[in-house]
Structure 1
Amino acid sequence: MTSVSFYRKLSIFQKLAPEKPAPVIKAMEMYSPEVIKVSGLGVHYRTQVALQDINCIIRPGRITGIFGPNGAGKSTLMKAILGLVPLSSGAVAYNNQPVMQQLEKVAYVPQRSQIDWSYPATVWDVVMMGRVKKTGWLRNFSNVSCQVAKAALERVGMGDLKNRPIGELSGGQQQRVFLARALTQQAEIFCFDEPFVGIDQKTQSIIFEVFHELAAENKIILVVNHDLGKSITHFDDLILLNCELIATGSRPEVLTEHNLHRAYGGNVIYFAA
């Protein structure tokens, strides 16, 4: 298996009326260019409106979660930010430039269900693909790249399984492999789509530990999540959606009874500590 063919294979996988949040737009103008700025974002699938009029900021050094009910547009928002789905309206900027023009600065981990785990690749193969943006498709991996990959595997507790076929791993182990792959990219922006689905408690703890370390390094961490349980306390900022923006800001600002009712309807139980 060549690096080129494997990377190409992986890239396929990486393919009440709400109030208008006008005050958010004013607040966005106060932040430095290092934030991701989402302005008036809309996504339509033919005649279906997936997202409309989304305005928010995603700041470095904080763990930001995208929350909302099923079908709210959480994954669509992440993909729209990364340029993986076309915008019907609006813009997304990082350092005053479109994010999709700076994908070398982005590490993206899709949902595990979108990955073909029967593909004949080892843990090491997958993790080394994170270095392709640094080295190019047709160059051999340097000792530096190998050391970066080794350190990433050790960081997620997978160093002893580097020769294991990815199809023989548990769900939690698979997620840790792709987290290690993201770390080897040495990115500025880390995006994870539903990373906690179908994993064990140990893996969840490792993932959050890495998220907090990345935040301490002033990275941008954006996570799609649906769980309003205890894990929500790890998030600094939230983007609450239901096809439109319900609320965005710090966790205490967003997790109000009013906002949750607008997003989910009925009574919602969540962990607020």
Structure 2
Amino acid sequence: MNTFQFASDRISINQLQVAYREVEALHRVSCAVQAGRLTGIIGPNGAGKSTLLKAMLGLVPIQQGTVLYQDQPLWEQLDRVAYVPQRSQIDWRYPATVWDVVMMGRVPKTGWFQRFSTRSRRIASQALERVGMNRYRDRPIGQLSGGQQQRVFLARALVQEAEIFCFDEPFVGIDQKTQDIIFEIFHELTEQGKIVLVVNHDLGESIHHFDDVILLNREAIATGNRQQVMTKANLDYAYGGHVAFYSEAA
């Protein structure tokens, strides 16, 4: 059994194992997620990509293994994490405006039932402006397009002033403009030294945005630098046969 020792500016995942009703979802996954690099979790449907992200955050129970950040369990430090789930998991009928949704991201800094400070409101306005949604601030969230909704939740993540940003399939059902905005902000966050981890199902051109990749199919097939991981042999093994993907050399 290999034991990984990583620097404190990384998330270290060691021998992580998860099962649902005795069906193994993740088998002894070990890898690292480095600060300052955009990391994608890639793999076929049912590979455990979302499960890995949720297990890291303590949202699903694990059978064994550890997930450490600065030598402490990550799920004990969720105040340092901004997490955006899949859009399909959100109830868009909830009666909240764009502004309400973004300000929810300031609650951990402000406290429940406390008045938001001038600084919090300024941060929220700046985040909405950054994602191009400030003029929709009074619009009910359920009346927005999929891309607009995703941008609002990105703004909510930004106002949390987190160290770690986790996104579960943020590019599903969105337009090209929104995808471009999201990647721009992801790169800004990594330049600031943040940890940015993204579950991504697409093997198209968007792959070239990622610095590092965790290639998963219930176990870690390969992890590390994108060019080293995204080889034909690794992808064929992960996907169980020939798979077409975007190649920068093509």
Cα shift readout 1:14-58 (whole Å, capped 9, x = no counterpart): xxxxxx9x5xx5xx42x4211000000000112100001100000
Matched to 2:58, the amino acid is G
Q: What secondary structure, in the 3-state scheme, does the structure 2 residue paired with 1:78 have?
A: helix
**3-state SS in 2 of match to 1:141:** coil
Distance in 2 separating the partners of 1:32 and 1:91: 15
Counterparts of 1:146 and 1:225, CA distance in 2: 32
Are positions 1:193 and 2:188 aligned together? no
| Segment drifting more, 263-272 vs 240-249 | 263-272
Q: Does 1:115 align with 2:90?
A: yes
Structure-to-structure mapping, 1:159-174, within 5 angstroms = 159-174=134-149
1:92 corresponds to which of 67, 75, 84:
67
Partner of 2:230: 255
TM-score, length-scaled by structure 1: 0.89
Partner of 1:77: 52
Cα drift, residue 64 of structure 1: 0.3
Decide which of 221, 227, 230 is 1:246's aligned counterpart: 221
Aligned partner of 1:211 in structure 2 is 186
What value does the CA root-mean-square deviation take over the aligned residues?
A: 0.9
Candidates 177, 180, 183, aligned match of 2:158? 183
- Residue in structure 2 matching 1:126, options 82, 101, 106: 101
Superposed, 1:21-60 pairs within 5 Å as 22=2, 25=3, 28-29=4-5, 31-60=6-35
Alignment partner of 1:236 out of 211, 223, 234? 211
Q: Aligned partner of 1:149: which letter?
A: A
Which amino acid in structure 1 is aligned with residue 182 of structure 2?
A: I
> Counterparts of 1:13-24 in structure 2 under 5 Å?
22=2
In the TM superposition, residue 257 of structure 1 has moved relative to its aligned partner by 1.2
Give, in whole Å, the separation in 1 of the partners of 2:112 and 2:197.
27
- TM-score after normalising by structure 2: 0.97
Distance 1:197 1:208 in 2: 14
Q: CA deviation at 1:272?
A: 2.0
Identity of aligned residues (%): 64
User: 1:149: which partner in 2?
Assistant: 124
Q: Deviations over 1:108-140 (max 9, x none)?
A: 000000001011100000000000110111211
The unaligned stretches of length 5 or more in structure 2 are none
Q: CA deviation at 1:231?
A: 0.1
AA paired with 1:192?
Answer: F
Mapped to 2, the partners of 1:266 and 1:77 lie a distance apart of 23
What is the letter of the counterpart of residue 89 of structure 2?
Answer: Q
SS in structure 2 opposite 1:267?
Answer: coil
Match for 1:65 among 40, 56, 66?
Answer: 40
Deviations 1:87-115 (A, max 9, x none): 10100000000011100000000000000
Q: Aligned partners of 2:50 and 2:247: how far apart in 1?
A: 24
Secondary structure, counterpart of 1:249 in structure 2: strand
How many corresponding residue pairs? Answer: 248
AA in 2 matched with 1:93: L
Displacement after TM superposition at 1:212 (Å):
0.3
Q: Which amino acid aligns with 1:122?
A: T
1:105 aligned to 2:80?
Answer: yes
CA distance in 1, matches of 2:84, 2:44: 21
